Chains A and B, each alone.
Chain A
């Protein structure tokens, strides 16, 4: 007889004869989904549970090792502990995407059981095995501190905060998803279980570039529990792609692979064991080909073509005035070449989708950055009317740009449609790393000039992007890199040339900052050298050139009245100047909204049913908090409490398309749509004496669209974007060269949620610091070499003290209550500010990222 393992889980005695990771036992057998599967490698901590008092990763410990032990998940917390964690994490803003949170809670519980009054360092140490990619850890540490205080009886839970009777713009609004994310019952796609659900996973290329000679699925198909193996022959139109459809769903027999993430076939099975076994039984014969490893390779004469149209994927030429003449006549100019790496988003939730037959098509439960974008790509694959596909967002465990393209959704839909069954497709962490588009690696040469007093005269630059195997969002990302390479300053001569090349590396696409992290790193680093030549401080040169309301940005757009770059500079002046010999400073601007002449619209429909206002706007909340912010936008005008406004989520069947979660646009664009619909509702409410029951069945729809001018429009002052956010960051080093403090001052217009914005800024800063100092994406012959634990993501015990500052002007834009969004800009100025800090210490330019010769590069 098999040995039986007896494990007490949340007080209940359970038994199994299978020796397997405890995580699989909890999730698959006991249906306890609070322990999240973020990597199954022991790297991320999302599955942390408490075993006999110790915080343990459930993917590491096995049922055999857990035999006779006592396991606690969030479900097993006492009611008081649950309430304490929920309140503390909500009040402190510890929760963003939420995927790491149950693990953080359990790591926190194990600590507090042993040490009811831990200091900050002890909390950081206790969390060092748990990644968070959203918050920068600070808010989670504060959440655990407050939990401890409550559990000790030294503070009380204020239940009114979560209740949210005052939920308007600028109020300390408790995010609506805190409870489900802290206690772990909120559903991400991987938490979905449906009757007779099949599991599917793709067999992916062994080589970055190889011809597929043969695909032999016979052994896999013969295996018990295997339902089907889908290949390119099963796909009506074998191409997807967010903008350019250049991405093969499957690499067909006879065709060549373009990167190691490429899917060749999809195995569909009844259970995980059969699926894993069957994938190994698929025999693929390859003819290995020489890969295109770099931009240089791609540009070389006679280079192998990654795509038939040539290796140049996208190019842009942004020019205004006469840069050559301006630079020639400049008192000072500096030319430097910079190199930045691919960066992995490392969202905590790997890609997963569940699809099933629905009406005359399929329905997909998805984690993405735009349900309508996902629908569009799937429709292209099927050659269908998009209406036949319904996409619904479940909770989204982070995106940062990496979930804009379809990854698993189309595969799940394809299999669900062919087999007329429910199918779940999930990427392993390594598949996720290999597959989804990264931040583009850049090589760029920048020349910036100024006059005797440091006023910028002109910029000339070449920007080369490695876009890897597929275009993804190469065009717009390259374009933003070019348009924003000028910085938030006021000068009128620019000549910017951008090129994006295909290689056989993993694809590159959108990533928080959208190309601007790369080009502003270069520009801001050069500005410090110019300041040195002029003989003024790096703060002063920025202040002298800073854009102001009414002045003209280098792209010709007139800065609007809300522009508050100078205020952000003023906010950090004293702290910068006081630490000048070991501090760096950098500014940034980032557009809110897609802009450049595209039909970028925010839409919202409000419906009144049973005294409740239902808010419909398909806007993916990838953790940034838009679900809550949109309710605040409605509460502001209507004066309704949270209990009367329900955000119905992002679903293409019920909610109007409110565009993608990209370009820091939801707070402004969808926010304005909600404001517009709420104004209509308010009018009727006033007529009804505030009685919602009299408005039952009423609907209010508002579409917000503010046209912008396309790039290169022949206008004296084209308006490229609806709005820009501005920021100044200061990075201060300690004596050993460690980052001790970061001051991040932001102009994002009106702050809708003061709790959330801090976490957005802190998380953005830490991501920027990782980019500057520790994160890399090494490739060997186009194959990623890093695992989830070795990407160089910062851990809780490595964080500096981060000070999030927001300047709020009294002159605001008259849309969305004056809010401009914060999503991307928080991560842009940090890397050049860190570069500047090291430069201040030793006057050595570090032009590559992650920077060499720092405390962190040892």
Chain B
């Protein structure tokens, strides 16, 4: 059982094909990992920061340290997050990265509680409205919306 904290940090990038070219995503420079006092963040094999939810206590130091401003704190019980920060238009985002949000709005249409919306070309969850049903994750054609519990993501490349 994980630590009982209200929030968990989520990195809004999965690293696509291990590139850093989109300009929005994780740079893999490890600033977040450096500031984390609980050893909860590391740079993974895709050169992208990854949060260990068991260790994360939701303190938010990584959020402040991230030079790209792509780490979010979300309620611990909400396991779903769209993990992309690419604000380019769909076609461009698709071209440059295999796991980018292409602003197709399929998640928006499928969400039963009106909790997810594409804002500035990226899907964003309103956690006040989210009921953690996972519908967005199962319908996302890009595997961008990830279930931290690893069950519901329809990804070709689940991470």
Contact = CB atoms under 8 A, between A and B. Distances in A.
Nearest to A40: B112
B108 to A, nearest CB: 12
Contacts of A51: 151
Contacts of B22: none
Interface string A752-794: 0000000000000000000000000000000000011110000
B134 A57 contact: yes
B151 A790 contact: no
Contacts of A52: 151
Interface in A52-102: 52, 54, 56-57, 60-62, 64-65, 69
B158 to A, nearest CB: 10
A51 B153 CA distance: 13
A789 B112 contact: yes
B151 A42 contact: no
A789 B114 contact: yes
Interface in B64-86: 77, 79
Nearest to B131: A129
Nearest to B2: A114
A41 B79 CA distance: 19
Contacts of B79: 54
B20 interface: no
Given A51-B151, A125-B77, A65 B138 contact: yes
A126 B132 CA distance: 10
A793 B82 CA distance: 26
A128 B114 CA distance: 15
Contacts of A57: 133-134
Interface-centre pick from B79, B138, B149 (highest chain A CB count, 10 A)? B138
B149 A54 contact: yes
Given A60-B135, A789-B131, A54 B151 contact: yes
B51 interface: no
A54 B150 CA distance: 10
B102 interface: no
A43 interface: yes
B112 A43 contact: yes
Contact of B138 (A45, A60, A126): A60
A61 B154 CA distance: 9
A61 B112 contact: no
Contact of B151 (A43, A56, A788): A56
A542 interface: no
A654 interface: no
B125 interface: no
A39 B112 contact: yes
B142 to A, nearest CB: 16
Contact of A43 (B1, B77, B133, B154): B133
A601 interface: no
Contacts of B132: 128-129
A125 B76 CA distance: 10
A653 B139 CA distance: 48
Nearest to A129: B131
A17 interface: no
A60 B140 CA distance: 12
Nearest to B134: A60
Contacts of B135: 41-42, 60
A51 B152 CA distance: 10
B152 A60 contact: yes
Interface string B89-105: 00000000000000000
B44 interface: no
A71 to B, nearest CB: 11
A62 B112 contact: no
B151 A65 contact: yes
A788 B112 CA distance: 7
A52 B147 CA distance: 13
B134 A41 contact: no
A114 B1 contact: yes
B113 A790 contact: yes
Given A42-B134, A125-B77, A790 B154 contact: no
A42 B112 contact: yes
A795 interface: yes
Contacts of B113: 43, 789-790
A61 B138 contact: yes
A175 to B, nearest CB: 28
Contacts of B133: 42-43, 45, 57, 60, 129
A788 B151 CA distance: 25
A115 interface: yes
Nearest to B110: A42
B145 to A, nearest CB: 12
A363 B21 CA distance: 68
A45 B1 CA distance: 24
B11 to A, nearest CB: 21
Interface in A17-52: 39, 41-43, 45, 51-52
Nearest to A39: B112
Residue of A41, A60, A115 with most partner-chain B CB within 10 A: A60
Given A62-B138, A65-B151, A41 B1 contact: no
Contacts of A126: 77
A56 B151 CA distance: 9
Interface in B112-146: 112-114, 131-135, 138
Contacts of A788: 112
B112 A65 contact: no
Contacts of A790: 112-114
Contacts of B153: 65
A57 B135 CA distance: 9
A144 to B, nearest CB: 15
A725 B132 CA distance: 41
A126 B138 CA distance: 20
B81 to A, nearest CB: 16
A128 B112 contact: no
A41 B77 contact: no
A514 B19 CA distance: 63
A115 B2 CA distance: 11
B112 A56 contact: no
A205 B1 CA distance: 51
A124 to B, nearest CB: 10
B54 to A, nearest CB: 12
A218 B122 CA distance: 45
A42 B77 CA distance: 17
A56 B110 CA distance: 16
Nearest to A66: B151
B47 to A, nearest CB: 28
Contact of A41 (B112, B138, B149, B152): B112
Contacts of A795: 131
Contact of B134 (A61, A69, A114, A125): A61
B116 to A, nearest CB: 12
Nearest to B147: A54
Given A42-B133, A43-B113, A65 B152 contact: yes
Interface in A107-166: 114-115, 125-126, 128-129
Contacts of A65: 138, 151-154
Contacts of B110: 42
A128 B151 contact: no
A41 B114 CA distance: 12
Nearest to B139: A60
Give the interface centre of B113, B133, B151, B153 by most chain A CB atoms within 10 Å: B133
Interface in B15-48: none
Interface in A326-367: none
Contact of A56 (B114, B131, B152): B152
Given A65-B138, A128-B132, A789-B111, 4 more contacts: A51-B151, A56-B152, A64-B154, A65-B151
Interface of A: 39, 41-43, 45, 51-52, 54, 56-57, 60-62, 64-65, 69, 114-115, 125-126, 128-129, 787-790, 795
11 contacts: A42-B135, A51-B151, A56-B151, A60-B134, A65-B138, A65-B154, A69-B151, A126-B77, A789-B111, A789-B114, A790-B112
Q: Which 8 pairs from chain A and chain B are nearest by CB? A: A789-B112, A43-B112, A42-B133, A789-B113, A42-B135, A129-B131, A41-B112, A42-B112
